[in-house]
């Protein structure tokens, strides 16, 4: 970009010098030098492509038109065509650089080195040479080079480059940390869990680098269109010279018109602006922490009428928490204490949620005779008291006279010394932005929002009713979800999105028109199976991304209509001799600059 700017400035200065020179030969030489400064690369590319057999491209059109202008003595116009073409390329380069900055922060996450612990020494090594099980040290201000578990230290982690979130995260011993994050203020030792090739940072970088390989239908159409369109206009330009010259003579006049016709017909405005628009759309999405794997998915996203969504971990937090405590005689804290102690040796999600809610150190010396009963619950002796914690069946089998709890969720009944003492409601919490997300999706044209879940009917319908979901299917096995989505794919009018957690829902994500992973950060299945990865668990980013996709497609259509309309008008005017080379320059370069600037608007999409 900098080199192009220098060439443009040098060429303009050379042109200004010609204004003060009257000698025709010297003036001609200066024009040729100025032309070669800005046009040499175009001529070079044109010759190379001709030798390869790829004749009809914008380089060929620009070369033949400007060299022809020199032949008929239109030196100023020949220089102007090439100069303005390069100015248009400069604007395009600027727009590309600007949009790249939107995803450049992702590229900055690539680690330069890892501090490998070898005995008592620390050695800087290439991250790709570190093995699983090796110990690395990350100092304040350094990037975490590989995925692993903290074995020593306490710090705050900046995940902004991966997730777009500005809030720092606390990380301490036994917590997993991901490559690409920045260690803010403490020295930490990490045991490496993945090789660099399999690490989060490398997978994300590969995703970003390969995004441009998957073209949208619009881009593919423009590529095919150019290959057919360019030889046709060259053939028409040749006829425009030959036929009128044979009939009326005046070769110079018709040759000039044909050259103008060639300049106008150059398809570079379409070839540049359409891919650039999609690239800007991908860059705009990355600003909010959404990775789109290709412009084809961005185009599909703009034309969506069915959204199918998993429940746990997608519409809900996916973390079971104590929501309510109902007690008979004991205090809430005392009842929770007995439940947490009884569940201490179990790793069941319900047990973990009870211990988390209690949030105090458990004295294991007080726990005796622990026993876990499959599909029922647990029993143990706590401080000499016989404690039962479990479901209804557990109470019935132990002949406990209990009060049924009708709250929606998982109910843990607690009995102490064969006396019913109360119940604890544990349930998954609906995400704060779930309702607003569904509302916004409807605003952006989604006709049906469908929830699929393996959860029980009562819980599924409760979530469905609270969120005003159109259709809800429950108690589904993973294969049932696949069959349901396949059924919906047969009746959809436009595209179907499936939103899941990227791990359990990988098969469904794969078969959907667009598979979106929630909280894809750190999930191999999410990054590989899905077409779009949300780097956090924020459901609200989906309608925002659809908005970006719709804006991108709108600008693409605007550019196509504008470019073709102007070119058709000026082509006709060139053929009948009304427009000159200057109008031709505008129809080519001017239109390119305007369409590039229009594409640039996509990056201004508000967060």
Q: What are the residue numbers of the active site?
A: 310
* CB-CB neighbours of 3 under 10 Å: 8
CA torsion, ordered 572, 575, 579, 580, to nearest 10 deg: 140
- Measured at the alpha carbon of residue 282, what is the angle toward residues 277 and 285, in degrees to the nearest 5? 125
- Quote the CA–CA distance of 53 and 72 in Å, as a whole number: 28
* CB-CB neighbours of 381 under 10 Å: 16
Contact 540, 433 (CB under 8 A): yes
Q: Name 464's Cβ contacts closer than 8 Å, sequence gap at least 6.
A: 451, 472
- Quote the CA–CA distance of 388 and 384 in Å, as a whole number: 13
According to DSSP, residue 586 is labeled I
Strand partners, 498: 308, 515
Structure token pair of residue 44: 């070079």
Query: What is the longest distance spanned by two Cα atoms in the chain?
Result: 117
Name the residue among 273, 274, 265 with its Cα closest to residue 228.
265
Structure token pair of residue 553: 């497609």
Contact 276, 99 (CB under 8 A): yes
- Quote the CA–CA distance of 233 and 467 in Å, as a whole number: 57
Contact 599, 273 (CB under 8 A): yes
Burial state string for 245-261 with b = 16 or more CB within 10 A and e = fewer than 16: beeeeeeeebbbbbbbb
- Quote the CA–CA distance of 243 and 240 in Å, as a whole number: 6
- Quote the CA–CA distance of 170 and 154 in Å, as a whole number: 8
Name the residue among 594, 598, 603 with its Cα closest to residue 98.
603
Lookup result for tokens 């990490």: 190
Contact 408, 462 (CB under 8 A): yes
- Quote the CA–CA distance of 438 and 110 in Å, as a whole number: 35
Burial state string for 388-400 with b = 16 or more CB within 10 A and e = fewer than 16: bbbeeebbeebeb
- What are the contacts of 503-508 at 24+ separation with CB within 8 A? 504/310, 504/478, 505/310, 505/478, 505/481, 507/478, 507/481, 507/482, 508/308, 508/310, 508/452, 508/478, 508/481, 508/482
């Amino acid at each position: 970009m900098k080199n192009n700017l220098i060439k443009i400035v040098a060429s303009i200065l050379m042109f200004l010098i010609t204004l003060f020179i009257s000698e025709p030969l010297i003036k001609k030489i200066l024009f040729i030098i100025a032309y070669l400064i800005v046009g040499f690369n175009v001529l070079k590319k044109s010759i190379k492509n001709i030798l390869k057999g790829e004749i009809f491209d914008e380089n060929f059109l620009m070369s033949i038109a400007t060299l022809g202008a020199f032949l008929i003595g239109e030196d100023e116009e020949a220089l102007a065509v090439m100069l303005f073409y390069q100015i248009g390329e400069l604007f395009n380069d600027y727009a590309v650089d600007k949009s790249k900055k939107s995803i450049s922060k992702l590229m900055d996450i690539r680690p330069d080195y890892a501090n490998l612990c070898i005995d008592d020494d620390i050695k800087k090594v290439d991250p790709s040479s570190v093995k699983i099980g090796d110990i690395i040290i990350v100092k304040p201000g350094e990037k975490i080079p590989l995925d692993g578990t903290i074995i020593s230290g306490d710090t705050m982690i900046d995940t902004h480059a991966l997730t777009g979130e500005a809030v720092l995260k606390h990380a301490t011993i036994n917590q997993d940390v991901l490559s690409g994050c920045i260690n803010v203020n403490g020295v930490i030792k990490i045991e490496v869990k993945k090789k660099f090739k399999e690490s989060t940072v490398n997978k994300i970088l590969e995703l970003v680098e390969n995004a441009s390989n998957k073209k949208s239908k619009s881009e593919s159409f423009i590529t095919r269109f150019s290959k057919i369109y360019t030889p046709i206009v060259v053939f028409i330009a040749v006829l425009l010279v030959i036929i009128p010259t044979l009939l009326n003579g005046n070769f110079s006049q018709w040759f000039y018109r044909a050259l103008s016709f060639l300049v106008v017909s150059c398809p570079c405005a379409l070839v540049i602006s359409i891919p650039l628009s999609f690239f800007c759309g991908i860059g705009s999405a990355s600003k909010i922490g959404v990775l789109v794997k290709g412009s084809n998915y961005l185009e599909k996203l703009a034309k969506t009428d069915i959204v199918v969504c998993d429940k746990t971990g997608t519409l809900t937090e996916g973390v079971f928490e104590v929501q309510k405590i109902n007690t008979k005689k004991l205090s809430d804290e005392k009842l929770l204490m007995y439940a947490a102690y009884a569940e201490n040796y179990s790793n069941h999600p319900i047990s973990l949620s009870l211990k988390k809610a209690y949030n105090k150190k458990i004295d294991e010396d007080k726990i005796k005779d622990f026993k876990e009963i499959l599909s029922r619950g647990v029993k143990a002796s706590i401080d000499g008291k016989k404690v039962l914690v479990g479901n209804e069946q557990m109470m019935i089998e132990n002949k406990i006279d209990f009060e049924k709890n009708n709250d929606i969720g998982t109910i843990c009944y607690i009995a102490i010394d064969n006396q019913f003492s109360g119940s604890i409601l544990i349930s998954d919490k609906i995400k704060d932005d779930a309702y607003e997300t569904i509302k916004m999706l409807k605003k952006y044209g989604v006709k049906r929002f469908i929830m699929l879940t393996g959860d029980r009917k009562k819980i599924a319908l409760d979530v469905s009713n609270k969120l005003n979901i159109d259709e809800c299917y429950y108690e589904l096995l993973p294969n049932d979800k696949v069959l349901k989505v396949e059924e919906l794919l047969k009746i959809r009018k436009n595209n179907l999105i499936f939103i899941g957690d990227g791990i359990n829902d990988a098969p469904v994500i794969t078969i959907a028109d667009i598979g979106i992973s929630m909280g894809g950060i750190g999930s191999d299945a999410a990054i590989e199976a899905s077409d779009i990865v949300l780097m956090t668990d924020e459901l609200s980013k989906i309608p925002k991304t659809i908005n970006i996709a719709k804006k991108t497609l709108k600008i693409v259509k605007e550019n196509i209509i504008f470019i073709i309309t102007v070119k058709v008008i000026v082509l006709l005017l060139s053929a009948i001799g009304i427009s000159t080379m200057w109008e031709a320059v505008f129809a080519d370069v001017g239109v390119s600059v305007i369409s590039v600037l229009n594409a640039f608007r996509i990056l201004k999409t508000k967060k």
